[in-house]
Amino acid sequence: MAKTDFTSILVGVDDSEDALLAFDYAIHYALDLNAKLTIASVLENDDMSVYQALDKGYIHGERSELEEHLLDYQRQAQDAGVKDVDLIVDEGDAGETIVKNIIPHVKPDVLIIGSIAKKGIKRRFGSQAAYMAKYAPISVLVIR
């Protein structure tokens, strides 16, 4: 298998415009390559107040909403014709969590991500995408 023969694609989504574009690219590549598609999203703790972070009920509710929302992404990929679609939700800093937790768990061949984060000052600097591109042990396709 050549390094470009991807059989497993991981895409990070957060509803930002770039992430939605990355998701479209991931669907396209999964279809073209008949690859497995794993859709990942990270519940970022820094978006929560200290009180929310300490409230396990709040975190569980947020996580449940995110998991439910990812089902829409899964349906969209399946409706486009992708046969093998998985979902994964984790918590923490998006870049670090994807690189240190999700990639080792999923073992994809390539990560497809948007270049701009959805919220906060990180949105302007694209630090999550830069972090993943620099530290991911696999190929990373950053979409603009």
Instruction: Flag whether 1 is in a domain.
Output: no
Q: Are 36 and 30 in contact (CB under 8 A)?
A: yes
Pairwise CA distance, residues 64 & 22, whole Å: 23
Q: Which pair of structure tokens corresponds to residue 25?
A: 């690219």
Reported as a pLDDT band with limits 50, 70 and 90, residue 55 is very low
Instruction: Supply the DSSP symbol for 144.
Output: -
Q: What is the pLDDT of residue 15?
A: 85
pLDDT digits (tens, 9 = 90+) for 79-137: 999 999 999 999 888 999 999 999 999 999 999 999 876 554 444 445 789 999 999 99
Instruction: Flag whether 3 is in a domain.
Output: no
CATH number at residue 138: 3.40.50.620
Pairwise CA distance, residues 132 & 16, whole Å: 17
pTM, full prediction = 0.84
- Please choose, from the candidates 7, 1, 10, 4, the residue with its C-alpha nearest in 3D space to the C-alpha of residue 35: 7
Structural domain of 106: 8-143
- What is the number of domains present in the chain? 1
Instruction: Flag whether 2 is in a domain.
Output: no
pLDDT digits (tens, 9 = 90+) for 1-18: 455 679 999 999 998 899
Out of 22-31, 59-68, 108-117, least confident range: 59-68
The kind and range of the H/E element at 21 are helix 17-33
Pairwise CA distance, residues 142 & 110, whole Å: 11
Q: Are 143 and 111 in contact (CB under 8 A)?
A: no
Q: What is the pLDDT of residue 45?
A: 64
Q: What is the pLDDT of residue 117?
A: 60
Instruction: Flag whether 79 is in a domain.
Output: yes
Give me the sign of the Cα torsion angle 27, 30, 31, 36.
Answer: negative
